[in-house]
């Protein structure tokens, strides 16, 4: 109930996530390690946001903070109008890399894990996980264990697990990094299809500039550590995106712009 109200709040202010001058310093053996410096961003509800930046610039840290999994030193992060002092699966679903499935659980049980934490009955859980399995295109694989699935399939399970509680916001930290190039493209395409049918707000981190432009409504570019936002690019390619768009000039120009920003900042 509470998050329905929050959803409405998001509609009125237009922001699903609001990050206001966030800085973070990790405690280290020789004083602090500054990881983020004065980061601000405003993510509209239902938007697909991609964050790119060099390794170690604080992308994961920022995402963990949005998920309520890590504290920040300074600034404010609101998700649907309220801060995230601890994880709230009703507001935010996190999708990790493929290795994060529990190997001792079947596909069904992995997807239902978040529901089982809340003591939901087995029948009810299955009623919710079945459509998720179908959504990610894995009907018939419910009783398999992760080691019986390919990398791409595991990632589909992981997405289904992140969606099963129907949170309005999905956070994804380099979810396809471990996949081969082809699977990665297919998964990106699949993700867009799922996103278009579910109306989620997505924040997606990647190293791949092509992936960034292909997926995003908006791309944020971060500087090397301590991470700052150095560019914000609107990707105004039409939806649904097609593979052919990658060959267009517009696509190439946007990818170049991101690349220049990253190069300049070193």
Partner 1 sequence: MKYWHIILIRAAILALVLGAWELAPRWGLVNPMLLPPLSDVLVTLQIQLARPTVQEAILITALEVIVAFIIAVPIGAAAGVAIAEFPYAGAIFKPMLFYVFSIPKSIFLPMFILIFGIGFQQKVAYAAFTTAFVVLMSATAAVESVKSDYILVARSFGATPLQILRRVYVPSMMPVLLETLRISMIFNFTGVMIAEMYASRTGIGHLISNWGENFQMPQLFAGVIMLSVVAIAFNETVRYLEARCSTWRT
Ligand X SMILES: Nc1ncnc2c1ncn2[C@@H]1O[C@H](COP(=O)(O)OP(=O)(O)O)[C@@H](O)[C@H]1O
- Taking the C-alpha atoms of residue 47 and residue 104, their distance in angstroms, rounded to an integer, is 35
Structure tokens at 36: 């983020």
Give buried/exposed letters for 160-173 (b at 16+ CB in 10 A, else e): bbbbbbebbbbbbb
Binds partner 1 (CB under 8 A): choice among 75, 96, 126, 210:
96
Shortest distance, position 225 Cβ to partner 1, whole Å: 21
- 92/254 with CB nearer partner 1: 92
The DSSP line for 31-54 is EEEEEEEEEEEEEETT-EEEEE--
**Nearest distance, CB of residue 164 and ligand X, angstroms:** 26
- Judged by beta carbon, residue 60 or residue 183, the one nearer Mg ion is 60
**Residue 245, Cβ neighbours under 10 Å: how many?**
14
Q: Does 141 engage in binding with partner 1 (CB under 8 A)?
A: no
Q: Is 47 in the site for ligand X (CB under 6 A)?
A: no
Instruction: Give the distance from CA 30 to its chain's centroid.
Output: 33
Q: Which does 113 bind (CB under 5 to 8 A by kind): partner 1, Mg ion, ligand X, none?
A: partner 1
Tell me, residue by residue from 173 to 212, as one string, x for binding to partner 1 by CB under 8 A and - for no binding: ----------------------------------------
Under rule CB under 8 A, residue 113 binds partner 1: yes
Nearer to partner 1, 52 or 67 (CB): 67
Q: Which listed range, 3-11, 28-36, 89-97, 182-190, lies at the site for partner 1 (CB under 8 A)?
A: 89-97
CB of 77 to partner 1, least distance (A): 15
Residue 33 interacts with which of Mg ion, ligand X, partner 1, none, CB < 5 to 8 Å by class: ligand X
Binding residue count for partner 1, defined by CB under 8 A: 26
Shortest CA distance to 123 belongs to which of 135, 108, 137, 105? 108
Sign of the C-alpha dihedral, residues 68, 72, 77, 82? Answer: positive
Residue 66 CA to residue 169 CA, distance in Å, equals 10
Q: Determine contact, residues 94/100, Cβ cutoff 8 Å.
A: no
Tokens in use for 219?
A: 């791309």
Could you tell which of Mg ion, partner 1, ligand X, none binds residue 69, using a CB distance below 5 to 8 A set by kind? partner 1
Residues that bind ligand X (CB under 6 A): 26, 33, 35, 53, 55-61, 225
């Amino acid at each position: 109930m509470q998050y329905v109200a929050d959803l409405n709040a998001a509609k009125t202010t237009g922001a699903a996530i609001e990050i206001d001058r966030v800085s973070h310093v990790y405690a280290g053996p020789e004083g602090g390690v500054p990881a983020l410096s004065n980061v601000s961003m405003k993510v509209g509800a239902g938007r697909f946001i991609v964050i790119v930046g060099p390794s170690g610039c604080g992308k994961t840290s920022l995402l963990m903070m949005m998920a309520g999994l890590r504290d920040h030193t300074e600034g404010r992060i609101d998700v649907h109008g309220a801060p995230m002092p601890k994880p709230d699966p009703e507001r935010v679903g996190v999708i990790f890399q493929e290795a994060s499935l529990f190997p001792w659980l079947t596909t069904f049980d992995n997807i239902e894990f978040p529901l089982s934490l809340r003591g939901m009955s087995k029948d009810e859980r299955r009623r919710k996980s079945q459509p998720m399995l179908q959504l990610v295109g894995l009907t018939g694989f419910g009783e398999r264990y992760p080691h019986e699935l390919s990398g791409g399939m595991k990632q589909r399970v992981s997405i289904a697990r992140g969606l099963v509680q129907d949170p309005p916001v999905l956070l994804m930290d380099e979810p396809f990094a471990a996949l081969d190039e082809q699977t990665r493209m297919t998964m990106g395409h699949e993700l867009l299809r799922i996103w278009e049918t579910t109306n989620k707000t997505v924040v997606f981190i990647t190293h791949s500039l092509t992936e960034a432009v292909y997926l995003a409504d908006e791309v944020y570019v971060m500087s090397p550590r301590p991470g700052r936002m150095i560019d914000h690019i609107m990707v105004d390619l039409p939806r649904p995106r097609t593979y052919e768009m990658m060959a267009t000039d517009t696509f190439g120009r946007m990818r170049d712009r991101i690349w220049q920003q990253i190069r300049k900042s070193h």
